[in-house]
Amino acid sequence: MVTQKRSVWIVLLGLVALLIYGNCYQIKLPEPKNIKLPDATMKGRNTFGCMVNGENFKNKNHWQVILVILTKIKGLSSSYYNTSYDNFLAPYDFQMNAEMTYIGTQKSLNFYLSEAEPFITGRTYKITGERNSATFYDDEGFMYYTAEENYPLEVIFTRFDTTANIASGTFKGTLINTDQTVGTTVELTDGRFDVKFNHN
């Protein structure tokens, strides 16, 4: 009987410790020795990858404790909005966010496109921080890098299918930090994505 009570207390204390830890920290997986970029596909496989200053960056799901429940957090999300019926100046919007979380590091890339006409495959869309935006975050030093006129992020859609809700394409660019360490940059190359987006 005493042993059972002791076991119950151990379990309860473990749950409390897990709750406290989970509210403060994300449960992160060990970083693999070799991260391979996904193939550049056009089938809505929900893949994303690029090179960041020569190092591979790939979206990755991670786990987080929320109210004692171990919850899987998606490392990739995307959405498309068509509000042309409201006569907005730029009614066609596409947004994507990719996140990579490992022990000791978290990196994320978010870009947003807003256009007056439907998105066309093969066209280069330049994100310059005016109507459109792009941000790369690196928690080592809490650094934010953004797209600007002289530091654009270029996105090319290889497929944009509003029937199948699939967006695929490539991207590259050099983003700049204007807050913590003014003038430092981050170079994004060999970017590719193939996502199944939410259509609103």
Q: What is the pLDDT of residues 91-136, one digit of tens each?
A: 889 998 888 765 566 788 999 999 989 999 999 999 998 789 999 9
Check if the beta carbon of residue 111 is closer than 8 Å to that of residue 96. yes
Q: Which two tokens stand for residue 82?
A: 């068509």
Give the tens place of pLDDT for each residue, 127-167. Answer: 998 789 999 998 877 889 999 999 999 999 999 999 999 99
Q: Tell me: pLDDT of 74 over 60.
A: no
Domain ranges of the chain: 35-61+75-199
- What's the mean per-residue pLDDT of the chain? 76
Q: Tell me: pLDDT of 39 over 80.
A: yes
90 secondary structure, DSSP code: S
Q: Which two tokens stand for residue 198?
A: 């939410």
- What's the pLDDT at 72? 39
The pTM for the full model equals 0.74
Non-local (6+) Cβ contacts of 82 within 8 A are 91, 92, 93, 162, 199, 200
Window from 25-34, 98-107, 129-138, 188-197 with minimum mean pLDDT: 25-34
Residue 65 confidence class, pLDDT cut points 50, 70, 90: very low
- What's the pLDDT at 16? 41
Share of the chain above pLDDT 70, in %: 68
